């Protein structure tokens, strides 16, 4: 089946980005492209790098930076595995081990999983919905700098032996002023402030973009499932992240200025921390997982070349998962002594969330069943995801039951479970997504054979690391303890897990080598190498700075799989200013046009002002008082009009 | 071809008010975030309450309550004065925007001064007990919103007089009114919980 394109593909801004020689075109088109390039071009030079507000640049930056943190978190995991390979190993002492498992968890959750999903969303969503940038370009630039400052703070702290050591969840009273003196936990708490600010900023930008900047005709029932997933995730971020920001603020205040939120002697409550942390922490799992589900749908659709089976139940399942995801945080606290009614309620909701996940699995299986899937690397990762995730889901249903949970609480059974869910549920689809969208993001093709090796090594390695942990946990091996005695008999399975860790790491190394090779001399990617149906494949690979030469009009759920009826494109949007079309939230009817912000340094200034303020607070609570005017000044600079005098009203 | 080859949007306006505008969504989401933060802060107020036999352990005192009531009254007045601002902005009536923005800005500055007096009059510190901590931090959050709102009011008032005032700035003025009404409403609820212990609770 051929894939006619809705939109004439446009050459990239950089002349070398598309190899084939175009026939001589009418002057009007060349002039049109020249003008678009002049308007949307990324600013040049070092200052230009900091001033860039294009989703194409920032989406890429989020993905690359998050991947760097993924590698760092992976190295920490390997260090732990090496320490645990043999009983009574003296490789890493207890203090450093505490820091390493805290760094691993914090890195993977806050600096890798959420930002990488948002990076994919930032890069793909504007293309998928047929517009030229996100609704708030400066906000995503601010978000990126804030994220880098937060991640940098955590790692600088770690290098100076001030890495947090109370777990990625920082339970009080362990993390409180009495049992964690020094600055380690403060570094953690302020890293949370930065990363949550960044996530919230991205969520706002993505929601407004998805609801208001869609191509005409792309009504809500026509948006791609990945875009749905990003929209739903972003709403979850809006309501989940404030809980951890508030909790980490309370923690920082308890530690720095002597408040008593978590101090039972003065009427505070340690469980208040757990409630607030998990009210964020459980939705967080779905914030990571739901975008991955969107990637799975996109990959299956283009590999089978069939519309996804059950679009409506798919969307409803995503929404249901998001809602139920807010109603089961207490299942992390079964061991804290809850009232019976609370346990029953949260057991029921924890089992209930398996239902929408099950619906989606069956819809994907039906899609695969009814098509003739091409076994690409992306699809291999998806198939691996289905297997591993179902397995993790099963141990999840077991853990939802209070008696089992009490038995295996704080053992490696739980570690095995959540790595099956998180790596199986999010990292496998993400790697599938990397292989799927790599041609669009970079304009080069990854090598499929190396891709299959990546999958094979990662799949085998993953199961060899984490399957034995189920058994170790059931046998009573506890988490977060730096070693174990030889007579426990845990040695052989731990050695197997460590060997598996090395294989898993090899898989990631093959992937990195594949990426480097492709960037250097990989074959150029066509516009739509997978014959996929959604709009990001309608433009060049990589997309030009103006995204689309002509803004598309959408007539169905799979714009690239059918002939395009008229009208096919939008005209009348300015090419001289970064103007975009705003459409109505539900039906995507053209409504009005707005000029977006171009390159600006104010996001960097604000991120630095916030950075100075928040980091100063670690050392002196007055930092907030001194820093606030700095932030206010940066904000005013941000919002102060540039004075284009484009349409003076009745001012004169 | 029966249908035209393209949709021409050249005639569409360059701004819109309310939910048609992307920035409206941005402000609504910001308010959703801040409201969630405040709801959780008030939840922790009720959560720590379970740990005290006498609640409140130390009252807020008549002076602080008077100032807090003053903040409430002035904020409500400023909220009422914000309605004509929003109205005028939607009609592009710059003169009326200027007049009412001055009224709102002055009232919001008065509310800020009363807030400082209120905090000084509280008869306990955040280190006194978990009760003191939650009161101070909850009022602190509202104060941050208040300060942000005051700065925005001042900036927009200056802009309304000095220009350049484009169509999109009417939208900004309208959105600022929305955010200010949120600051007002937030204090109505927070005041009722923190200072209304005799009314709401036993």
- Residue B162, chain A, CB below 8 Å: the answer is no
B contacts of A644 (beta carbons < 8 Å): 164, 166
Q: Does the pLDDT at position A545 exceed 50?
A: yes
A contacts of B132 (beta carbons < 8 Å): 259-260
B-interface mutation test, from A263, A582, A637, most B Cβ less than 10 A away: A582
Interface pTM (ipTM) of the complex?
0.95
Place B198 in a pLDDT band, splitting at 50, 70 and 90: low
Per the CB < 8 Å rule, is B22 touching A207? Answer: no
Place A304 in a pLDDT band, splitting at 50, 70 and 90: very high
Structure tokens of A8?
A: 């004439």
Structure tokens of A485?
A: 């005695």
Place B2 in a pLDDT band, splitting at 50, 70 and 90: low
User: ∠ CA(A294), CA(A316), CA(A559), 5° rounding?
Assistant: 55
Check whether the bond before A567 is cis (ω within 30° of 0). Answer: yes
Q: How many Cβ pairs within 8 Å bridge chains A and B?
A: 210
Q: Does the pLDDT at position A61 exceed 50?
A: yes
A20-34, A405-419, A569-583, B84-98, range with the lowest pLDDT:
A20-34
Cβ-contact B195, B60 below 8 angstroms: yes
The string of DSSP codes covering B148-200 is HHHHHHHHHHHHHHH---BHHHHHHHHHHHHHHHHHHHHHHHHHHHHH-HHHH
- Res B61: pLDDT: 85
Rounded to an integer, what distance in angstroms lies between the CA atom of residue A517 and that of residue A430?
20
Which among A630, A629, A639 has a CA at the least distance from the CA of B156?
A639
B contacts of A242 (beta carbons < 8 Å): 33-34, 36-37, 40
Q: Calculate the CA A276 to chain-centre distance.
A: 22
SS3 label, residue A582: strand
B contacts of A647 (beta carbons < 8 Å): 14, 166-167
Write down the residue that tokens 């405040």 correspond to: B38
Cβ-contact A240, A280 below 8 angstroms: yes
Cβ-contact B51, A267 below 8 angstroms: yes
> Which B-chain residues 48-67 have CB contacts (< 8 A) with chain A?
48, 50-52, 57
Q: Does the pLDDT at position A310 exceed 90?
A: yes
A contacts of B44 (beta carbons < 8 Å): 246, 250, 261, 272, 276
- Residue B116, chain A, CB below 8 Å: the answer is no
- Res A343: pLDDT: 83
Per the CB < 8 Å rule, is A204 touching B47? Answer: no
- Res A401: pLDDT: 86
Chain A, nearest residue to B136 by Cα: A259
Q: Does the pLDDT at position A21 exceed 70?
A: no
- Residues A313-362 pLDDT 10s: 999 999 999 999 998 888 888 888 788 888 888 888 888 888 999 999 99
- Residue B2, chain A, CB below 8 Å: the answer is yes
Write down the residue that tokens 């009826």 correspond to: A565
Rg of the Cα atoms in chain B: 21
Per the CB < 8 Å rule, is B1 touching A204? Answer: no
Write down the residue that tokens 């997978």 correspond to: A530
Rounded to an integer, what distance in angstroms lies between the CA atom of residue A203 and that of residue A79?
34
- Residue B179, chain A, CB below 8 Å: the answer is no
> Which of B6, B20, B128 lies nearest to residue A567, judging by beta carbons?
B6
Segment A90-107 mean pLDDT: 96
- Residue B29, chain A, CB below 8 Å: the answer is yes
Rounded to an integer, what distance in angstroms lies between the CA atom of residue B102 and that of residue B82?
10
Rounded to an integer, what distance in angstroms lies between the CA atom of residue A558 and that of residue A580?
23
- Res B16: pLDDT: 94
Mean pLDDT score across all residues of chain A: 92
Rounded to an integer, what distance in angstroms lies between the CA atom of residue A348 and that of residue A353?
9
Please name the residues in contact with A256: beta carbons below 8 A apart, sequence gap of 6 or more: A186, A617, A618, A621
B contacts of A245 (beta carbons < 8 Å): 37
Cβ-contact A423, A488 below 8 angstroms: no
Structure tokens of A53?
A: 């507000």
């Amino acid at each position: 089946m051929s894939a006619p394109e809705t939109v004439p593909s446009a050459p990239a801004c950089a002349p070398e980005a598309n190899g084939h020689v175009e026939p001589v075109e009418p002057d009007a088109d060349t002039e049109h492209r020249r003008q678009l390039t002049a308007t949307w071009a990324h600013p040049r030079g070092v200052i230009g790098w900091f001033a860039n507000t294009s989703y194409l640049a920032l989406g890429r930056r989020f993905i690359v930076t998050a991947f760097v943190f993924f590698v760092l978190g992976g190295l920490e995991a390997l260090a732990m595995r090496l320490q645990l390979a043999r009983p009574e190993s003296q490789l890493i002492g207890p203090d450093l081990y505490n820091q390493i498992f805290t760094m691993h968890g914090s890195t993977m959750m806050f600096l890798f999983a959420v930002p990488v999903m948002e990076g994919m969303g930032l890069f793909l969503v504007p293309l998928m919905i047929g517009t030229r940038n996100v609704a708030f370009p400066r906000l995503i630039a601010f978000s990126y700098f804030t994220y880098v400052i937060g991640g940098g703070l955590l790692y600088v702290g770690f290098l100076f032996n001030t890495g947090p050591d109370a777990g990625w969840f920082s339970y009080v009273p362990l993390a409180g002023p009495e049992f964690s003196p020094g600055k380690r936990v403060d570094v953690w708490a302020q890293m949370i402030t930065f990363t949550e600010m960044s996530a919230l900023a991205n969520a706002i930008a993505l929601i407004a973009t998805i609801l208001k900047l869609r191509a005409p005709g792309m009504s809500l029932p026509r948006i791609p499932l990945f875009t749905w997933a990003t929209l739903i995730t972003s709403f979850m971020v809006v309501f989940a992240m404030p809980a951890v920001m508030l909790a980490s603020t309370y923690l920082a205040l308890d530690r720095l200025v002597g408040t008593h939120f978590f101090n039972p002697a003065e009427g505070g409550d340690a469980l208040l921390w757990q409630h607030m942390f998990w009210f964020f922490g459980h939705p967080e799992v779905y914030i990571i997982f739901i975008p991955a589900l969107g990637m799975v749908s996109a990959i299956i659709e283009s590999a089978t070349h069939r519309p996804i089976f059950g679009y409506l139940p798919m969307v409803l399942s995503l929404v249901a998962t998001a809602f139920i995801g807010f109603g089961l945080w207490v299942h992390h606290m079964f061991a804290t002594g809850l009232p019976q009614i609370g346990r029953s309620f949260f057991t029921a909701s924890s089992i209930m969330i398996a239902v929408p996940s099950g619906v989606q699995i069956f819809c994907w299986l039906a899609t695969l069943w009814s098509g003739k899937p091409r076994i690409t690397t992306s699809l291999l990762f998806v198939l691996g995801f289905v297997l591993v995730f179902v397995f993790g889901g099963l141990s999840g249903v077991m853990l939802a039951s209070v008696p089992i949970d009490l038995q295996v609480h704080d053992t490696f059974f739980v570690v095995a479970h959540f790595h099956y869910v998180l790596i199986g549920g999010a990292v496998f689809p993400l790697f599938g997504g990397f292989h799927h969208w790599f041609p669009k993001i970079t304009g080069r093709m990854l090598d499929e054979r190396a891709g299959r090796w990546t999958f094979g090594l990662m799949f085998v390695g993953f199961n060899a690391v984490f399957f034995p942990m189920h058994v170790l946990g059931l046998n009573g091996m506890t988490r977060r303890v730096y070693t174990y005695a030889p007579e426990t008999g845990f040695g052989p399975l731990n050695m197997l897990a460590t060997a598996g860790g090395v294989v898993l790491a090899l898989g990631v190394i093959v992937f990195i080598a594949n990426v480097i090779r492709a960037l250097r001399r990989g074959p150029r990617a066509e516009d739509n190498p997978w014959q996929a149906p959604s709009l990001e494949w309608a433009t060049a690979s990589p997309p030009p700075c103006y995204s689309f030469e002509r803004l598309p009009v959408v007539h169905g759920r799979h714009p690239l799989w059918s002939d395009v009826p008229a009208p096919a494109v939008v005209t009348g949007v300015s090419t001289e200013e970064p103007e975009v079309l705003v459409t109505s939230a539900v039906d995507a009817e053209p409504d009005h046009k707005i000029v977006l912000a171009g390159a600006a340094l104010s996001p960097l200034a604000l991120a630095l002002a916030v950075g100075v303020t928040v980091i100063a607070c670690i050392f002196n609570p007055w930092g907030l008082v001194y820093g606030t005017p700095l932030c206010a000044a940066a904000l005013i600079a941000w919002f102060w009009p540039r004075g284009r005098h484009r349409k003076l009203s009745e001012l004169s | 071809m029966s249908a035209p080859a393209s949709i021409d949007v050249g005639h569409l306006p360059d701004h819109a008010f309310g939910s048609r505008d992307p920035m409206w969504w941005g402000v609504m989401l910001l308010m959703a975030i801040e409201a969630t933060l405040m709801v959780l802060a008030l939840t922790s107020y009720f959560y720590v309450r379970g740990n005290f036999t006498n609640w409140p352990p130390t009252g807020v005192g008549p002076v602080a309550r008077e100032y807090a009531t003053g903040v409430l009254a002035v904020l409500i007045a400023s909220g009422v004065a914000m309605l004509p601002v929003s109205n005028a902005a939607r009609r592009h009536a710059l003169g009326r925007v200027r007049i009412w923005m001055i009224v709102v800005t002055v009232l919001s500055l008065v509310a800020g001064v009363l807030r400082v007096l209120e905090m000084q009059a509280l008869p306990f510190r955040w280190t006194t007990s978990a009760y003191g901590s939650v009161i101070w931090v909850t009022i602190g959050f509202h104060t941050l919103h208040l300060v942000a709102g005051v700065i925005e009011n001042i900036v927009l008032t200056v802009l309304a007089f000095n220009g350049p005032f484009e169509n999109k700035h009417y939208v900004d003025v309208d959105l600022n009114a929305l955010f200010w009404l949120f600051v007002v409403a937030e204090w109505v609820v927070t005041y009722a919980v923190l200072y209304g212990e005799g009314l709401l609770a036993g």
